[in-house]
Amino acid sequence: GPIIAALRLYFVFYCCLVILLFENHIGKKCFILNVFTSVNISLFIHDLSISTRPKTRPDENYLFLIDLRVPPKSEVLKYLDASGPVPRREATVVVFYGAKGYIKEYEVGPLPNPTYHHDVTRERYGTDLPLSARTVTLGEYIVLFQFIEEKVFLPLNTLLHESFGMDRQHKLNAFEQMPRGIRAGERKTWISFFRDLSGMYIQPVGFEVLVQHLSTNTSHWSVERLLYNGQYFASVEQLRDAYSAGAVKKIVKTPWEDYGSLKPRTHPLQLGPQLVSPEGARYSVSHNHVLYMDWSFAFGLSSLTGMRVFDVHFRNERILYELSVQEAMSVYGAVTPGMGMTKFLDSSIGIGRFAHELVRGVDCPYDATYVDTYRYIDVPKPMRYRNSICVFELYLGQPLRRHFADFFHNSYGGMANSALVFRTITAIGNYDYMWDFIFYQNGAVEAKVHATGYISSSFLVQDGLKHGHQVAPGVLGNIHTHFINFKADLDVLGECSEKHFLYKGLTVLVYIIPFTGMRGVYSFAGDHLPESQPEERSMSWARYKVAITKHKDLEQTSSSLYSQNNMWSPAVDFSTFIQDDESIHNQDLVAWVTAGFLHIPHAEDIPNTVTVGNGGGVLLRPHNYFDKDPSIDSPDSVYVGPGSESSCENNRMACLAQETCAPVLQPFTYNGFEGVMKFED
């Protein structure tokens, strides 16, 4: 059919490599996936009436996303462990049918030469997907900004100039609230305006507009309310007339101060410490497969959910089938609607989508291994994002273990805490999230995230300080809570053994099987929303610090692309995963872990929030799984006894100066501005 013909063209013309799934620990390749590249646009549009233009209008059919479909776990394990056939490789294709009023998901395969496509929307979600649940595309943003220019800025030109200094050289930028409405089927967005300066997110001006943009016919869009300096108005005309009559409390124009700039305030001094491997890297990266000491795993980057690893082995035993990011949510408090109604679900615009090039020596060690990624989401062709993943071995500056024997058998024994880090950083609007999966030599695995970037802020009005602190003149840093959901599909001692965790939080719960299992340690920020609130269903995974469910291929993720804009009737309601009351005895189990932290912004968040103290995650560590600490067998172990202080036999540190030389570093390059969203030509 025409969909197959069009998709084949992706492979014919470019065939970019998106490496997403497994090689096992002995090097047996399972999947190195080609997920699609470019296409002959004219043939595509002619055959399908589907546009791939970046400025596709809301009333057109639009190919929004092409992404990997993870194969059924049973098929993968048959291939990896029992010499079964290679699982069929398929892609998920998302089309926004603006001309027809709905969203469809297709399963297309086999890759790389597809011969079929199936509509799997109802199979995956049990319902049809309304068009109102779609993500705002680049094309819709362009039309939305044009609407604001014509219907808001032009009629209020005098107000905008006198209050904010807006003119040809001084513009205002828009930043919107989500979800878009207060009930299912709505598409109403509060849009707040900020000075067009560095770090615009901390430059609010005190002007917000509620735009109704449900219809795909943009002539039916309207401005429903406006907020100016804490005062509400029913229409543009009402605000204009009241302002002209002097019947409003006006904002006094102030000079534009670029306090959000990240340009250095001082001149560089001597170079800071750098992490180097004096005898070369002790890990290897081949395509999407990593080997490090006793560890091996395959990795990928989903456009929607971000980082994930598969087939994680330690000492040639699989301990994790999958460890992945599922969702990043932030819930805000404010008296103004732009922030007060905000509940961001980042996978709905794409967490992995915003992984750009990492800066050597800052985002990752200079001599780390960098990996390109390729994505197709809201673009006219697949995009290459250079060096958007990094892998490196990190010395944490502390011993993993040590003991100095003072009383008896004088000696020192210890081991430096070196671990492998798999990292990406996603810049989702104002916030930058640094995602790390860390593999330790004692068999522990940690998944963690740190937040940096700019806080979201609002204009300081009456009662605003109930919801945050003033962080700059007229600027309120709004209180908010971050919640991060991880998926850990543990295959300790095989997929059909019960998985038990001992974890530590506000209360301590212990589930132990002697001599088996892993231990999870985490902290939690608190409750997200009362379950009585209608939006809570879309984020019901946050009810549970740890939730254990039976593995099901149709329960692949805890959230969805459509949750943000249809919170009241979400396509994925995680609470249904555990309300089916199925027995989990001797089943293949999955742990869904929620971590988070409260952020009350303060003056030191200007210009940027720092990573220190702003993070969370989950730690999985052995609990009676081994007979002893696995790190005792590490070649990094050091032992010093009386008279052997200068011997290299059990202490490589003694001969480090003689055996190493200065590292050879690659020239610094940066291509991170490729593939950024552009709202203007």
Report, as residue numbers or ranges, the catalytic residues.
Answer: 346, 431
How far is it, in rounded angstroms, from Cα 198 to Cα 132? Answer: 32
Q: Which residue has the tokens 């945050």?
A: 468
Q: Which two tokens stand for residue 2?
A: 């025409």
Q: Which residue type, as a one-letter code, is found at position 488?
A: A
Measured between its terminal Cα atoms, the distance across the chain in Å is 35
198, 526, 623 from 637: Cα distances, Å: 48, 40, 22
In 315-430, at which residue ranges do the beta strands (DSSP E only) sit? 317-332, 343-345, 369-377, 383-405, 411-428
Report d(CA 319, CA 370) in Å as an integer. Answer: 26
| DSSP state for residue 13 in the 8-state scheme | H
Peptide bond into 112 cis (omega under 30): yes
Question: Can you point out the beta strands (E) in 574-677?
Answer: 589-599, 615-622, 637-640
DSSP strand pairing (129-130 vs 468-472) = unpaired
Would you tell me how many other CB atoms lie within 10 Å of the CB of residue 308?
A: 23
H or E stretch covering 164: helix 157-164
Element (H, E) at 312: strand 306-314
Q: Do you know the residue count of the chain?
A: 681
Handedness of CA 214, 215, 218, 223 (dihedral sign): negative
670: closest CA among 462, 325, 377, 361?
A: 361
The interaxial angle of helices 41-48 and 2-13, nearest 10 deg, is 170
Query: Quick one: tokens of 496?
Result: 């059909």
Residues 193 and 164: their CA atoms lie apart, in Å, by 10
Q: How far apart are CA 384 and CA 389, in angstroms?
A: 12
Q: Could you tell me the CA-to-CA distances from 535 to 335, 490, 524, 570 in Å, in that order?
A: 19, 31, 21, 9
**How far is it, in rounded angstroms, from Cα 558 to Cα 487?**
8
**C-alpha–C-alpha distance, residues 163 and 228, integer Å:** 10
Q: 446 with 440: CB under 8 angstroms? A: yes
CB atoms within 10 A of CB 531: 11
Whether the Cβ atoms of residue 315 and residue 630 lie closer than 8 Å to each other: yes
